[in-house]
Amino acid sequence: MDKERGNTQKKRNSSLYLPEVATLINKREMTPDDSFFEFQLKNRSLGHLPGQFAEISVPGIGEAPISISSPPSKSRKFEMVIRRVGSVTGALHALKVGDSAGIRGPFGAAFPMAALKGRNLLFISGGIGLVPARSAILYALEHRQDYKDIIILFGCREPAQRLFTDALAQWQKREDIIFHESVDRTNGAPWHGNVGVITTLLPKLGKVNPVDTYAIVVGPPVMYKYVIMGLHDMDFSDDHIILSLERRMKCGVGKCGHCQMNDKYVCRDGPVFNYDRIKHLQEAI
């Protein structure tokens, strides 16, 4: 299955590393550590595909790779969810509506949404993995007639960590998709849904046709191994498993070496990979 790519950044004669200016037009807190951001570029729309990322920066603090969470239809005003873990993500959290940030991108290989037409889609998202997966989920829902069954599984550590709670509630209600959710533990919060790691949702699906279904898996590094084992139990072949991986990144364009995983550059060859193509790489999963 061939990689899909959006318009990569316009050719910039002066520097590959020169960001464009984006204005923060909307921002809200989702959890104590995660906030939702909506940005607009000055002169163009970002032109991304589902699953791509951008390098976002605050001058004086630095740059960080962040997934684009909105579907391509929302590219003029695109969305991100940023978890505060350090200096750049901290500075981004301090931005106020009307402030500007630097953007380079979009970068990376996208989810192969066109090639998946006519198939069942099984989205498995853990924690902040929902952020990149959301761009593909919303794309699939916008093009609902192009796909057969759409199944969405979401799991996170505890109820307070749930992202996009409005969307989750809507997906729960929709008749034309299957949605299941789980938390690792309730941690005292009121919760009536499943408790247990995300793989405990797989048996609830009953019979899924592994030949006609593609699994799109995004989550923390520890999740992949267990989800892949679960999918194997359901007779999924490796080329029907699509993953998005996170690595440390600096340049985003295949030069700096930080994201390298064996011979692959996660920033250019990924972050989206077909499992079949990387399962032999010792540094992958």
Tell me which stretch binds ligand FES (CB under 6 A): 129-137, 152-160, 248-256, 274-282.
248-256
Q: Largest Cα–Cα distance in the chain? A: 56
CA 210 to CA 278: how far, in whole Å? Answer: 20
Q: Which of residues 157 and 250 has its CB atom nearest to ligand FAD in the complex? A: 250
Question: Per CB under 6 A, does 157 bind ligand FES?
Answer: no
Rule CB under 6 A: is residue 251 a binding residue for ligand FES?
Answer: yes
The DSSP 8-state label assigned to residue 110 in this structure reads B
Of the pair 19, 230, the CB lying nearest another protein is at: 19
Q: How far is the CB of 202 from another protein (least distance, A)?
A: 23
Residue 266 contacts residue 247 (beta carbons within 8 Å): yes
Burial (0-12, 13-18, 19+ Cβ within 10 Å), 134? buried
In angstroms, the CA 259 to CA 281 distance is 14
Q: Does 258 bind ligand FES (CB under 6 A)?
A: yes
The answer for residues whose C-beta is within 8 angstroms of residue 47's C-beta and 6 or more apart is 6, 7, 72, 75, 106
Does 64 engage in binding with ligand FAD (CB under 6 A)? yes
Kindly state whether residue 59 participates in binding another protein, applying the rule CB under 8 A: yes
Q: Does 257 bind ligand FES (CB under 6 A)?
A: yes
| CB of residue 58 to another protein, shortest distance in Å | 7
Give which of another protein, ligand FAD, ligand FES, none residue 243 binds (C-beta under 5 to 8 Å, depending on kind): none
